[in-house]
Structure 1
Amino acid sequence: MGYKYNKEEILDVGYDVFRRNGYHNVGINQILKESGIPKGSFYNFFDSKEDFAQQVIKRYGENNQCWMQKYFDDCELSPIECLKSFYAMMIHYNEEDNYAGGCLVNNMCVEVGRNNDMLAKESNQQFVGWLQILASVVKKGQDQGQITTQYNSLWLAEYLHAGFYGVLSRTKVTRNREYMDAWHTMTFNFITQ
């Protein structure tokens, strides 16, 4: 009896391949080689490279959403301090990765967001899911008088996470955390009540 391929394992390989190389620099043959599956098995799971990438983004986004929700549910600090520690942790993870990979959703937004509606829609949907989690923490901070109420919680969540995405892109060029640290300090100075 032949080996039964696990779709989730193939998607996890796709995450790593796309994060390291981008969408346009990856062909089906590289995906097949790195996942160790034959072409026929790949097409049993996915209609195309685009379909595969869409499912990779979805899996990545949903996994991150669960991870973020757990992080904030478990955080025993005040809302503003939970947000600060979350982004400090993200800065640390990127430093450990030598600023090489970044966030798959961010990478896809930058690379194909303007030209591929399907991947843009999926990337945006995952980003919005993350924003909902961040907005709930921001709202708690606003209710406790820690975070400015000049803007609604969703706009502040967008400001936080879109700003962090910009810094992620910047560090791929500079390969140091200087701009991340500046973003962190300035952002939390701006939003603190």
Structure 2
Amino acid sequence: MARTRRSADTRQLLVEAGAAGFLTNGYHGTGIKQILDEVGVPKGSFYNYFDSKESFGHAIIEHHSLCVQRNLTEAFGDASDPVSGLRVFFGRLMDDFVAAEFTGGCLIANLGGELEGSALLRESLSGAWGAWRDRIAQQLAQGQRLGMIRSDIDAIELADLLLESWEGAVIRMKIDHTLAPLHKCLDRLLDDYFRP
């Protein structure tokens, strides 16, 4: 039992270190040896945890998606209404961007631009994006029921618009090293276009 636990702990440490590496250096710019050295795992042991770098990438995307879902649940649970919940969630992302000095951005978007050749990883990214979009859409649908969000456009379409606009604003944030594009994105959508 203790060996299984250590093995699960080591796998989790590899995934977390890999996520940080992928966010900073990208999939192709992050070497397996670099991650193994960081975690203190012998090189030959990698294949005890993952079949390939691609399966490692899949595990990292799943881990990131679960973290996003947890963060959404916390943000929405802490808010007084659906729109405030969205602002709490995106505000926390902005805090993370500032803490990282405007580097990194969004793991899903970063990898999406880099991994067009891998069907497994594209499917993983698509699933992670869909889970994120669906949770945002649920929040927007709740806002529609409360009369806070326009109801003439489907909540899923609004969620796609919000996330696609947000990701574009993240690129601009990284270029200019300012949160202004992110604030503008949220203000124009949540306080204007999305209102009834």
**Deviation at residue 72 of structure 1 after TM alignment:** 0.9
Paired residues, number: 190
Measured in 1, the distance between the counterparts of 2:123 and 2:143 equals 30
Runs (4+) off by over 6 Å: none
Measured in 2, the distance between the counterparts of 1:135 and 1:184 equals 15
SS of match in other structure, 2:114: helix
Q: How does 1:129-140 map to 2 (within 5 A)?
A: 129-140=131-142
Is 1:153 the counterpart of 2:155? The answer is yes
Q: Which residue of 2 aligns with 1:48?
A: 52
Gaps in structure 1 of 5+ consecutive residues: none
**Deviation at residue 89 of structure 1 after TM alignment:** 2.8
Is 1:96 the counterpart of 2:132? The answer is no
Measured in 2, the distance between the counterparts of 1:187 and 1:97 equals 26
Q: Which residue of 2 aligns with 1:69?
A: 73
Measured in 1, the distance between the counterparts of 2:88 and 2:71 equals 14
Deviations 1:68-88 (A, max 9, x none): 12321332x221222223223
2:89 pairs with 49, 69, 86, which one?
A: 86
Q: How does 1:1-193 map to 2 (within 5 A)?
A: 4-5=6-7, 6-75=10-79, 77-112=80-115, 114-188=116-190, 189-193=192-196
Q: Could you say what the CA RMSD is over the residues aligned between the two structures, in angstroms?
A: 1.8
- Report if aligned partners of 1:22, 1:111 keep a CA contact under 8 Å in 2: yes
- Report if aligned partners of 1:88, 1:184 keep a CA contact under 8 Å in 2: no
Measured in 2, the distance between the counterparts of 1:88 and 1:55 equals 27
Q: Name the structure, 1 or 2, with higher relative contact order (CA <8 Å, separation 6+).
A: 1
Measured in 1, the distance between the counterparts of 2:187 and 2:64 equals 28
Measured in 1, the distance between the counterparts of 2:96 and 2:36 equals 28
Deviations 1:112-141 (A, max 9, x none): 1x2222111101101111112111110111
AA paired with 1:44?
N
Q: TM-score, normalised by structure 2?
A: 0.89
Q: Percent identity?
A: 28
Measured in 2, the distance between the counterparts of 1:19 and 1:187 equals 27
Say if 1:170 and 1:115 are closer, same or farther in 2 by CA, change over 3 A. Answer: farther
- Report if aligned partners of 2:86, 2:139 keep a CA contact under 8 Å in 1: yes
SS of match in other structure, 1:122: helix
**Deviation at residue 94 of structure 1 after TM alignment:** 1.2
